[in-house]
Amino acid sequence: MKFEGNAVEQKNLFLMRFKQAQKSADYPERLEVPLDKIKWDDEFEEYDPPYYVDRVVLEQFEQQGDVGWADPENIGDCVLKYASVYGEILRSKQNLPLNPFGRCGIAGRGELGHWGVNLAVDPIVTRIDRKSGLLQMILIERVDCGEIALPGGMVNAGETSTKALSRELREETEAYINFENATLVYKGYVADRRNTDNAWIETTACHVHLDPNFGSKIIVKGHDDAKRACWCTLTPKVVEALYASHAAIVRAALRNLFDSNAAELPAEVICQIDEILKF
Q: How far is CA 225 from CA 143, 146, 154, 228, in A?
A: 5, 10, 11, 9
Per DSSP, the three-state class of 138 is strand
According to DSSP H, which parts of the chain are helical? 7-18, 55-64, 161-173, 212-217, 236-240, 246-261, 267-278
Q: Give the span between the Cα atoms of 238 and 242, in whole angstroms.
A: 7
- Min dist CB 44 to ligand RP5, Å, is 26
Contact flag: residue 164 with ligand RP5 (CB under 6 A): no
Is residue 265 a contact partner of residue 255, using CB atoms and an 8 Å limit?
no
From the list 52-60, 63-71, 94-102, 152-160, the region that binds ligand RP5 by CB under 6 A is 152-160
Contact flag: residue 199 with ligand RP5 (CB under 6 A): no
One of 97, 113, 123, 152 touching ligand RP5 (CB under 6 A)? 152
Contact flag: residue 190 with ligand RP5 (CB under 6 A): yes
Is residue 244 a contact partner of residue 200, using CB atoms and an 8 Å limit?
no
Nearer to ligand RP5, 12 or 136 (CB): 12
Nearer to ligand RP5, 149 or 169 (CB): 149
Contact flag: residue 225 with ligand RP5 (CB under 6 A): yes
Residue nearest to ligand RP5 (CB): 152
- Min dist CB 1 to ligand RP5, Å, is 20
Euclidean distance between the first and final Cα of the chain, in Å?
Answer: 28
Interface contacts to ligand RP5, rule CB under 6 A:
120, 122, 149-150, 152-154, 190, 192, 201, 203, 225, 244
